Amino acid sequence: MPSCVHLASDLHLGAPNSTLSRERERAFVRWMRDAAEGRRFAEGKPATELHLVGDIFDFWHEYHHVVPKGGARVMGAIAELSDAGLPVHYHVGNHDLWTYGYLEEELGVSLHREPILLDCDGTLCMVGHGDGLGPGDATYKVLKKVFTSPWGQTLFKTFHPDWGVKLAQGWSKQSRARGEHPMGKLEDEHLVQHAMSVLDDAEAPSPDVFIFGHRHQPVHVPLPRGAADYLNLGDWLTHMTSAVVHEGKAELIDHKKGDQA
């Protein structure tokens, strides 16, 4: 049976408010179920794997006995699909770094903290959220080391969840605004520069397609020198886009055209 991998990223549940977030959440759940069942936009292409490529939540942190409220529809759908036997992969982003086992244990996902290589019927795809990759963004790279360090995580857990969530939501809003800046020249994109550095590494596997999120800009273009493709998944805040890799061919899908109605 040919592989059929459906991917989406940057839902940012909780932003900018509960009403708008809930509308997006319902649409995203329809996307997951349609992909799983091969309906509407996925007709003839039922998923053999589902990849949620980071920042599904605008903020996520697992305390010892508490997780942030909200996202019940998405989490229920993930658990439902996983329980039915569909492999669901969760790639952490810069807004949902702080997961310590709950998503795997409760929802049954496979969790990834670094980009992975995925062989789709002979087409090699590199899949990851994309934060911190490539040159530049030195401030965030330092912050990420702090956020992922044991002492940084322990310190944050000492805050009462109400205060911790409020503090993190302020940071999330600023971080989200930085990630949404318009795309300039292709060769100036830090994720494109990262992809080119991977291709230039003679000792590393050479992906045919680089699939990232993080930048909120849906795009599918050949890389400079035509060595591979760069595909950014866009987001579900503004664009409502996803991607599918079916029979070795990657395709970007725009759900504003009515296939999610």
CATH number, domain containing residue 51: 3.60.21.10
Which residues, listed in sequence order, are joined to residue 212 by a DSSP beta bridge? Answer: 128, 232
Over residues 100-106, the mean pLDDT reads: 94
Residue 169 is predicted with a pLDDT of: 61
pLDDT bracket for residue 260 (50, 70, 90): very low
Judged against a pLDDT cut of 50, whether residue 25 lies above it is answered with yes
Q: Is the pTM of this model over 0.85?
A: yes
What's the domain range around 69? 4-257
User: Is there a contact between 29 and 74 (Cβ–Cβ < 8 Å)?
Assistant: yes
pLDDT bracket for residue 261 (50, 70, 90): very low
pLDDT bracket for residue 144 (50, 70, 90): low
CA 149 to CA 146: how far, in whole Å? Answer: 5
Long-range contacts formed by 169-178: CB under 8 A, 24+ apart: 169/14, 169/58, 169/59, 172/12, 172/15, 172/58, 172/59, 172/95, 173/15, 175/94, 175/95, 175/140, 176/12, 176/15, 176/58, 176/95, 176/237
Average pLDDT over the chain reads: 88
Judged against a pLDDT cut of 90, whether residue 110 lies above it is answered with yes
Q: How many structural domains comprise the chain?
A: 1
β-pairing, 88-91 vs 49-52, is parallel
Judged against a pLDDT cut of 70, whether residue 43 lies above it is answered with yes
Residue 151 is predicted with a pLDDT of: 63
